[in-house]
Amino acid sequence: MQTYQYLAGGEWLDTDQHLDSDDPYLGAPWARIPRCGTAEVDRAVRAAHAAFSEGPWSRFTATERGHLMRRMGEVMVANAERLAAVETRDNGKRTCDILPGLTGGLRDSFDYYAGLADKVEGTVPPTGRPTILNYTTPVPYGVIAAITAWNSPLLIAIWKLAPALAAGNTVVLKPSEHASASTLEFADVLAEADLPPGVINVVTGLGTECGQPLVEHPLVRKVSFTGSAEGGRAVAREAAANLTPCTMELGGKSPQIVFDDVDLDVAVYGVAGGIFPPSGQSCISGSRALVHESILDAFVERLVEVVGEASPAAPTEPGAHYAPIANRPHYDRILSHVAAAVADGARCVAGGGPAAHPEGGDGWFVEPTVFVDVTPDMAIAREEVFGPVLAVLR
């Protein structure tokens, strides 16, 4: 198994303990990640603070930051296949969903914020006193704690990194313990962009051992968190001790609304495509279908046919219809949501259990699942399953 190190101040460092990282397609460990604790977090935060306040980063002009960010985008594109392969191995996300982003939209994120870096301007508010000059100057926070989720580690990390660096901050990244490898690989790739030491640091490990001391660290000036509502509440409580501001993205229960004037096939494939390919493991999965009563029966009948055509495959396969569940605890959680929906009176018309293993795999696949006779008060209509489970409401 590959053993990773954590990154602090431009140095790759070992820890005394490690955590296994599982391959969701195989259902078995493939790598070991550092089990960082308070000491490792402190080293990373202090390295970020030194780079911000004393190091070469503090002397970069806004234009120079923009040039550096463009180089970051270039080296990401040059290493896109390597990064996509690691992320697929680590969290089971389909390679065909990762590569286009690395070479397209995520590259554009670096370019977009690189262009904004030297356009952060202040204002001169009128005071009513002609002898006084009153002006505002935006300044960076300092050290940003960026905590990412396991479903799309690279995408979320880049969405956090690009604006933070453009404004002149430094960052300590903390990916989920269930999918840390691609973030560590990405940090290694960025060395090719001549990134100053300490600008980006990466610590990995459990939430209580690594995430909590990161959020509570007195030198962290802002927290950016992506994850569950439960995790967000914990982060908010921990950050409150130092009055550290937080920005959070906590998922949702997105509706897909189907009116009675649609092309039925287009609507069915649209709704299926809005949730099942990533196995529902997306913050914007359309996990509720609100269907006009006059076409409900026809819509469900066609949807069941389409869902029945899907089959699991290795996430590296271009024709993989849907991905494995990213980790075992979440796999069990999805199946418990399905069982609870049945107990609440929802009727399962497709899927509803573990999927047959694709050739070569022994991992965590759940069948694309469709529930009907769902009412708004049911948990399956209100709670985010974050899995391939669609609730159809009249």
By annotation, the residues acting in catalysis are: 249, 283
Of 314, 381, 308, 315, nearest in space to 346 by CA: 381
Stretch (H or E) spanning 289: strand 288-291
Dist CA 274 CA 256 (whole Å): 8
For the chain, give me the number of helices (H) and strands (E)? 13, 15
**Hey, which residues does 146 pair with through a beta bridge?**
173, 224
Helical ranges in the chain per DSSP H = 38-53, 62-78, 80-91, 95-103, 105-116, 153-166, 181-189, 212-216, 229-240, 264-273, 296-308, 328-344, 379-382
- What Rg value do the Cα atoms of the chain yield, rounded? 23
Of 384, 273, 341, 315, nearest in space to 96 by CA: 315
| Cα distances (angstroms) measured from residue 160 to each of 30, 172, 308 | 27, 11, 38
Name the amino acid, one letter, at 160. Answer: K
Q: DSSP secondary structure string, 112-162? A: HHHHHGGG---B----S-TT----B-----SEEEEE--SSSHHHHHHHHHH
* Helix pair angle (62-78, 105-116), 10° resolution: 170
* 31-57 per-residue burial string, b: 16 or more CB within 10 A, e: under 16: bbbbbbbeebbbbbbbbbbbbbeebeb
Dist CA 251 CA 384 (whole Å): 8
